[in-house]
Amino acid sequence: MTPHNHAKPGDYAEAVLLPGDPLRAQWIAENFLEGPRLVNSVRNCLGFTGIWKGQRVSVQATGMGQPSLGIYVHELINVYGLKRLIRVGTCGGLNPWVKVRDLILAQGASTDSSIVKDRFGAYQFAPLADWALLRSAADKAKAKAMRFHAGNILSSDIFYHGDWEAAYGKLMAHGVLGVEMEAAVLYTLAARFGVQALAICTMTDCLVTGEEIDAEQRQSSLGDMVELALDVAVEG
Protein backbone atom coordinates (compact mmCIF):
# COMPACT_ATOMS: atom_id res chain seq x y z
CA MET A 1 0.00 0.00 0.00
CA THR A 2 1.12 3.54 -0.73
CA PRO A 3 -0.48 6.96 -0.21
CA HIS A 4 -1.78 6.72 -3.81
CA ASN A 5 -2.58 3.07 -4.09
CA HIS A 6 -4.33 0.72 -1.69
CA ALA A 7 -3.85 -2.45 -3.76
CA LYS A 8 -2.35 -5.39 -1.90
CA PRO A 9 0.72 -7.34 -3.05
CA GLY A 10 -0.29 -9.59 -5.94
CA ASP A 11 -3.41 -7.57 -6.83
CA TYR A 12 -1.82 -6.43 -10.09
CA ALA A 13 -0.77 -8.64 -12.97
CA GLU A 14 2.78 -8.27 -14.34
CA ALA A 15 1.42 -6.38 -17.35
CA VAL A 16 -0.69 -3.22 -17.17
CA LEU A 17 -2.45 -0.87 -19.54
CA LEU A 18 -2.12 2.77 -18.51
CA PRO A 19 -4.83 5.17 -19.70
CA GLY A 20 -4.82 8.68 -18.26
CA ASP A 21 -8.54 8.82 -17.54
CA PRO A 22 -9.95 6.76 -14.63
CA LEU A 23 -13.27 6.30 -16.44
CA ARG A 24 -11.40 4.95 -19.44
CA ALA A 25 -9.68 2.47 -17.13
CA GLN A 26 -13.12 1.38 -15.93
CA TRP A 27 -14.42 1.21 -19.52
CA ILE A 28 -11.48 -0.98 -20.53
CA ALA A 29 -11.93 -3.25 -17.51
CA GLU A 30 -15.70 -3.62 -17.99
CA ASN A 31 -15.72 -4.01 -21.77
CA PHE A 32 -12.59 -6.03 -22.48
CA LEU A 33 -11.55 -8.00 -19.40
CA GLU A 34 -13.20 -11.09 -17.99
CA GLY A 35 -13.99 -10.89 -14.28
CA PRO A 36 -12.51 -7.44 -13.69
CA ARG A 37 -11.79 -6.66 -10.03
CA LEU A 38 -11.24 -3.15 -8.68
CA VAL A 39 -7.82 -3.09 -6.98
CA ASN A 40 -7.33 0.65 -6.42
CA SER A 41 -9.64 3.62 -6.04
CA VAL A 42 -7.53 6.12 -4.08
CA ARG A 43 -8.32 9.61 -5.47
CA ASN A 44 -10.65 7.82 -7.92
CA CYS A 45 -7.56 6.91 -9.94
CA LEU A 46 -9.06 3.51 -10.69
CA GLY A 47 -7.10 0.30 -11.16
CA PHE A 48 -8.48 -3.12 -12.14
CA THR A 49 -7.21 -6.63 -12.75
CA GLY A 50 -8.97 -9.18 -14.96
CA ILE A 51 -8.38 -11.73 -17.68
CA TRP A 52 -7.65 -11.17 -21.39
CA LYS A 53 -7.33 -14.24 -23.63
CA GLY A 54 -6.81 -16.47 -20.60
CA GLN A 55 -4.11 -14.35 -18.98
CA ARG A 56 -4.16 -11.91 -16.09
CA VAL A 57 -3.72 -8.28 -17.02
CA SER A 58 -4.29 -5.01 -15.18
CA VAL A 59 -5.38 -1.52 -16.14
CA GLN A 60 -4.47 1.48 -14.00
CA ALA A 61 -5.32 5.13 -14.63
CA THR A 62 -2.39 7.53 -14.34
CA GLY A 63 -4.09 10.93 -14.39
CA MET A 64 -2.91 13.62 -16.79
CA GLY A 65 0.70 14.71 -17.20
CA GLN A 66 4.13 13.41 -16.34
CA PRO A 67 4.20 14.20 -12.59
CA SER A 68 0.99 12.24 -12.06
CA LEU A 69 1.98 9.30 -14.27
CA GLY A 70 5.39 9.26 -12.61
CA ILE A 71 3.88 8.57 -9.19
CA TYR A 72 1.69 5.66 -10.32
CA VAL A 73 4.35 4.10 -12.53
CA HIS A 74 7.11 4.40 -9.91
CA GLU A 75 4.91 2.56 -7.42
CA LEU A 76 3.63 -0.04 -9.89
CA ILE A 77 7.22 -1.00 -10.65
CA ASN A 78 8.86 -0.66 -7.25
CA VAL A 79 6.06 -1.57 -4.84
CA TYR A 80 3.98 -3.97 -6.94
CA GLY A 81 6.68 -5.49 -9.14
CA LEU A 82 5.12 -4.82 -12.56
CA LYS A 83 7.28 -5.67 -15.56
CA ARG A 84 5.39 -4.55 -18.69
CA LEU A 85 3.68 -1.16 -18.88
CA ILE A 86 1.72 0.00 -21.91
CA ARG A 87 0.27 3.47 -22.06
CA VAL A 88 -2.92 3.77 -24.11
CA GLY A 89 -3.68 7.40 -24.81
CA THR A 90 -4.63 10.04 -27.30
CA CYS A 91 -2.39 12.62 -28.91
CA GLY A 92 -2.55 15.72 -31.04
CA GLY A 93 -1.13 15.40 -34.56
CA LEU A 94 1.91 17.48 -35.54
CA ASN A 95 2.27 16.43 -39.16
CA PRO A 96 -0.34 16.35 -41.93
CA TRP A 97 0.43 12.79 -43.03
CA VAL A 98 -0.78 11.49 -39.65
CA LYS A 99 -4.57 11.26 -39.95
CA VAL A 100 -7.12 11.24 -37.14
CA ARG A 101 -7.71 7.66 -35.91
CA ASP A 102 -4.14 6.68 -36.94
CA LEU A 103 -2.11 4.98 -34.25
CA ILE A 104 1.24 6.34 -33.21
CA LEU A 105 3.62 3.82 -31.67
CA ALA A 106 6.00 6.05 -29.75
CA GLN A 107 9.44 4.75 -30.65
CA GLY A 108 10.93 7.72 -28.80
CA ALA A 109 9.50 10.52 -26.68
CA SER A 110 11.05 13.99 -26.80
CA THR A 111 10.10 16.24 -23.92
CA ASP A 112 10.17 19.69 -22.35
CA SER A 113 9.82 18.10 -18.91
CA SER A 114 12.32 18.99 -16.24
CA ILE A 115 11.57 15.61 -14.63
CA VAL A 116 13.58 14.00 -17.43
CA LYS A 117 16.02 16.85 -18.15
CA ASP A 118 17.13 17.44 -14.56
CA ARG A 119 18.12 13.81 -14.01
CA PHE A 120 20.86 13.81 -16.64
CA GLY A 121 22.77 17.01 -15.97
CA ALA A 122 24.68 18.05 -19.09
CA TYR A 123 23.33 15.12 -21.10
CA GLN A 124 20.15 14.83 -23.16
CA PHE A 125 18.67 11.41 -22.45
CA ALA A 126 16.62 9.88 -25.29
CA PRO A 127 13.58 8.11 -23.77
CA LEU A 128 12.86 5.04 -25.91
CA ALA A 129 10.20 2.36 -26.14
CA ASP A 130 11.11 -1.21 -25.31
CA TRP A 131 12.13 -2.73 -28.63
CA ALA A 132 10.33 -6.07 -28.16
CA LEU A 133 7.03 -4.36 -27.29
CA LEU A 134 7.41 -1.88 -30.14
CA ARG A 135 8.09 -4.65 -32.65
CA SER A 136 5.22 -6.73 -31.31
CA ALA A 137 2.80 -3.78 -31.54
CA ALA A 138 3.94 -2.95 -35.08
CA ASP A 139 3.61 -6.58 -36.22
CA LYS A 140 0.17 -6.92 -34.68
CA ALA A 141 -1.06 -3.58 -36.05
CA LYS A 142 0.13 -4.60 -39.51
CA ALA A 143 -1.58 -8.00 -39.24
CA LYS A 144 -4.83 -6.24 -38.28
CA ALA A 145 -4.40 -3.77 -41.19
CA MET A 146 -4.50 -0.81 -38.79
CA ARG A 147 -3.04 2.50 -39.96
CA PHE A 148 -0.04 3.24 -37.76
CA HIS A 149 3.18 5.22 -37.59
CA ALA A 150 6.22 4.47 -35.44
CA GLY A 151 8.45 7.38 -34.53
CA ASN A 152 9.17 10.25 -32.22
CA ILE A 153 6.48 12.00 -30.22
CA LEU A 154 6.54 14.97 -27.86
CA SER A 155 5.57 14.51 -24.22
CA SER A 156 4.87 18.07 -23.15
CA ASP A 157 4.07 19.49 -19.73
CA ILE A 158 1.94 22.17 -21.38
CA PHE A 159 -1.44 21.53 -22.98
CA TYR A 160 -2.39 25.16 -23.70
CA HIS A 161 0.58 26.43 -25.69
CA GLY A 162 -0.46 29.91 -26.81
CA ASP A 163 1.68 29.79 -29.94
CA TRP A 164 2.07 26.09 -30.70
CA GLU A 165 3.70 26.71 -34.09
CA ALA A 166 6.54 28.63 -32.45
CA ALA A 167 6.79 26.06 -29.67
CA TYR A 168 6.66 22.91 -31.79
CA GLY A 169 7.94 24.12 -35.19
CA LYS A 170 11.47 22.79 -34.90
CA LEU A 171 10.25 19.46 -33.54
CA MET A 172 7.76 19.16 -36.41
CA ALA A 173 10.56 19.91 -38.87
CA HIS A 174 12.46 17.00 -37.30
CA GLY A 175 9.59 14.58 -37.91
CA VAL A 176 7.96 14.53 -34.47
CA LEU A 177 4.57 12.95 -35.14
CA GLY A 178 2.33 13.95 -32.27
CA VAL A 179 2.04 15.57 -28.86
CA GLU A 180 0.79 14.08 -25.62
CA MET A 181 1.77 14.50 -21.98
CA GLU A 182 3.08 11.24 -20.46
CA ALA A 183 5.32 8.92 -22.52
CA ALA A 184 8.79 10.40 -21.85
CA VAL A 185 8.57 9.92 -18.11
CA LEU A 186 7.13 6.43 -18.57
CA TYR A 187 10.11 5.48 -20.76
CA THR A 188 12.61 7.10 -18.41
CA LEU A 189 11.29 5.24 -15.37
CA ALA A 190 11.17 1.96 -17.28
CA ALA A 191 14.81 2.42 -18.30
CA ARG A 192 15.81 3.37 -14.77
CA PHE A 193 14.20 0.31 -13.22
CA GLY A 194 14.80 -2.20 -16.03
CA VAL A 195 11.24 -2.96 -17.12
CA GLN A 196 9.45 -2.85 -20.47
CA ALA A 197 7.32 0.12 -21.58
CA LEU A 198 5.51 1.28 -24.68
CA ALA A 199 3.16 4.18 -25.39
CA ILE A 200 0.46 3.75 -28.04
CA CYS A 201 -1.60 6.79 -28.96
CA THR A 202 -4.61 7.36 -31.16
CA MET A 203 -4.33 10.69 -32.94
CA THR A 204 -7.54 12.54 -32.11
CA ASP A 205 -6.89 16.14 -33.17
CA CYS A 206 -4.46 17.43 -35.75
CA LEU A 207 -2.95 20.78 -34.78
CA VAL A 208 -1.83 21.41 -38.37
CA THR A 209 -5.06 20.71 -40.29
CA GLY A 210 -7.63 21.22 -37.50
CA GLU A 211 -9.11 17.78 -38.24
CA GLU A 212 -10.73 16.18 -35.18
CA ILE A 213 -12.16 12.79 -34.38
CA ASP A 214 -15.93 12.63 -33.66
CA ALA A 215 -17.39 10.89 -30.61
CA GLU A 216 -18.41 7.69 -32.42
CA GLN A 217 -15.05 7.30 -34.18
CA ARG A 218 -13.28 8.01 -30.89
CA GLN A 219 -14.94 5.05 -29.18
CA SER A 220 -14.28 2.56 -31.98
CA SER A 221 -10.68 3.74 -32.48
CA LEU A 222 -9.94 3.53 -28.79
CA GLY A 223 -11.43 0.04 -28.72
CA ASP A 224 -9.13 -1.11 -31.55
CA MET A 225 -6.12 0.39 -29.75
CA VAL A 226 -7.07 -1.27 -26.46
CA GLU A 227 -7.36 -4.72 -28.11
CA LEU A 228 -3.96 -4.25 -29.72
CA ALA A 229 -2.41 -3.11 -26.43
CA LEU A 230 -3.95 -6.04 -24.53
CA ASP A 231 -2.52 -8.49 -27.08
CA VAL A 232 0.92 -6.90 -26.71
CA ALA A 233 0.57 -6.92 -22.92
CA VAL A 234 -0.16 -10.63 -22.64
CA GLU A 235 1.89 -11.95 -25.57
CA GLY A 236 4.85 -9.57 -25.37
Tell me the closest approach of the beta carbon of residue 214 to ligand HPA, in angstroms. 15
Binding site for ligand HPA (CB under 6 A): 90-92, 159, 179-181, 204-205
Instruction: Provide φ and ψ at 64, rounded to 5°.
Output: -95, 140
Q: How far is the C-alpha of 227 from the C-alpha of 41, rounded, in Å?
A: 24
102 part of the active site = no
Tell me the closest approach of the beta carbon of residue 222 to ligand HPA, in angstroms. 12
Q: Which of 130, 205, 224, 231 is catalytic?
A: 205
Tell me the closest approach of the beta carbon of residue 155 to ligand HPA, in angstroms. 9
Residue whose Cβ sits closest to ligand HPA = 92
Residue whose CB is less far from ligand HPA, 39 or 229: 229
Alpha carbon distances (Å) from 15 to 10, 83, 222, 233: 12, 6, 19, 6
Residue whose CB is less far from ligand HPA, 102 or 180: 180
Residue whose CB is less far from ligand HPA, 36 or 92: 92
Q: 130: helix, coil or strand?
A: coil
How many CB atoms lie under 10 A from the CB of residue 173? 9
| DSSP sequence for 177-226 | -EEESSHHHHHHHHHHHT-EEEEEEEEEEETTT--B--HHHHHHHHHHHH
Residue whose CB is less far from ligand HPA, 5 or 95: 95
Q: Which of 125, 128, 126, 150 minimizes the C-alpha distance to 137?
A: 150
How many CB atoms lie under 10 A from the CB of residue 164? 17
Q: How far is the C-alpha of 205 from the C-alpha of 178, rounded, in Å?
A: 10
Tell me the closest approach of the beta carbon of residue 211 to ligand HPA, in angstroms. 12
Residue whose CB is less far from ligand HPA, 58 or 156: 156
Task: Please enumerate in sequence order all residues whose Cβ is within 8 A of that of 135, keeping only pairs 6 or more positions apart, or say none.
Answer: none
Residue positions annotated with a catalytic role: 205
